[in-house]
C-alpha cells in the first residue's frame, strides 16, 4: 500500500502573523535603543516591551546585533528611500532635489542606527559587519546618484565622477546631519535646503538661485 506524499503547506495568514511579530520586536527594540541606549537594552527587555516571550525574540534574532542589522535592512529597503527615484528623473536639478529629499528622510530615520553602529562596531564582530555593509550601501547609492547625474550631463565641467562620489559621500553622511540638526538645532527642512544649495555648487556647478534651481 502506497503512502501519500506529504504536501508542503504555507499559510499566508501564518506568514503575515510571523512578519507582524517580527516588526513588533523591531519597533520595540528601536524605541528602547533610542530611550536607553543600545548597551543598556537587554533581550529580555525587548521581549517584554514587544509583548512576546524571550524565546520568540531569539527565534527571529539570536543576538542584539541581528536586531540592528534587521533595522538597517528595513530602512534601506524603504521604497521612498530608493535611489531609483533619482535615476528616473530626466533633469539634473530635479535629480538633485529628489536626492536631497531622500537623504533628509534617510538621516531622519537612520541617525540612531548610525550612532549605534559607529560606537559599538569595534566591540562586536557582528556589528562590525553591519557597519561595513551600512557604509558600502551608502557609497553604492551615492555612486548610482552620480552616474545618474552624469548620464543627464549634469556634473559640472572638470568634475570627475569618482570625485563627485566622494563629495556626495561626505556631504550626505549621518555625521553632517547629526552635527547640524541634532547638535546645532537646524530644522530638517533647513538641512535639506542647505544640502541642495551646496550640491548645486559642488556637483552641478550652478548658483542655487538660478532659474529652475529652487527647492519645492
Statement to judge: residues 97 and 157 lie in one domain: yes
Statement to judge: residues 129 and 35 lie in one domain: no
Statement to judge: residues 50 and 87 lie in one domain: no
Instruction: Decide: helix, strand or coil at residue 154.
Output: coil
Cβ(120)–Cβ(127) under 8 Å?
yes
pLDDT tops 60 at residue 189: yes
Confidence (pLDDT) at 1: 46
pLDDT tops 60 at residue 159: yes
Number of domains in the chain: 2
What is the C-alpha to C-alpha distance for residues 34 and 30, in angstroms, rounded to an integer?
6
Counting Cα atoms < 13 Å in the Cβ hemisphere of 63 gives 8
Task: Give tens-digit pLDDT for 52-88.
Answer: 999 999 999 999 999 999 999 999 999 999 999 999 9
What is the C-alpha to C-alpha distance for residues 194 and 181, in angstroms, rounded to an integer?
12
Task: Give tens-digit pLDDT for 93-128.
Answer: 999 999 999 999 999 999 999 999 988 766 788 899
Average pLDDT over residues 131-159: 95
**Cell reading at 196:** 541642495
Q: Is 5 part of a structural domain of the chain?
A: no
CATH number for position 56: 1.10.10.60
CATH number for position 194: 1.10.357.10
Statement to judge: residues 94 and 169 lie in one domain: yes
pLDDT tops 50 at residue 215: no
Counting Cβ atoms within 10 Å, is residue 113 exposed (0-12), middle (13-18) or buried (19+)?
buried
DSSP code of 160?
-
Confidence (pLDDT) at 104: 96
Place of cell 551600512: 134
Q: pTM, whole model, 2 decimals?
A: 0.84
Q: What is the span of the domain harbouring residue 22?
A: 12-62
Q: Is 1 part of a structural domain of the chain?
A: no
Statement to judge: residues 200 and 103 lie in one domain: yes
Confidence (pLDDT) at 121: 66
Amino acid at each position: 500500500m502506497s503512502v501519500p506524499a506529504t504536501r508542503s503547506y504555507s499559510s499566508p495568514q501564518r506568514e503575515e502573523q510571523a512578519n507582524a511579530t517580527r516588526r513588533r520586536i523591531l519597533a520595540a527594540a528601536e524605541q528602547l535603543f533610542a530611550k536607553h541606549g543600545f548597551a543598556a537594552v537587554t533581550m529580555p527587555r525587548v521581549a517584554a516591551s514587544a509583548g512576546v516571550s524571550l524565546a520568540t525574540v531569539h527565534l527571529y534574532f539570536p543576538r542584539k546585533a541581528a536586531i540592528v542589522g534587521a533595522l538597517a535592512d528595513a530602512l534601506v529597503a524603504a521604497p521612498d528611500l530608493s535611489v531609483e527615484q533619482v535615476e528616473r528623473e530626466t533633469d539634473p536639478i530635479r535629480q538633485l532635489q529628489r536626492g536631497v529629499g531622500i537623504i533628509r528622510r534617510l538621516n531622519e530615520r537612520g541617525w540612531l542606527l548610525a550612532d549605534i553602529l559607529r560606537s559599538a562596531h569595534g566591540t562586536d564582530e557582528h556589528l562590525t559587519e553591519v557597519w561595513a555593509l551600512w557604509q558600502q550601501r551608502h557609497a553604492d547609492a551615492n555612486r548610482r546618484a552620480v552616474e545618474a547625474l552624469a548620464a543627464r550631463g549634469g556634473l559640472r565641467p572638470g568634475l570627475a565622477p569618482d570625485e563627485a562620489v566622494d563629495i556626495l559621500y561626505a556631504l550626505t553622511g549621518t555625521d553632517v546631519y547629526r552635527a547640524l540638526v541634532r547638535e546645532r538645532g537646524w530644522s530638517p527642512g533647513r538641512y535639506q535646503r542647505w544640502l541642495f544649495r551646496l550640491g548645486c555648487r559642488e556637483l552641478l556647478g550652478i548658483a542655487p538661485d538660478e532659474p529652475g534651481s529652487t527647492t519645492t
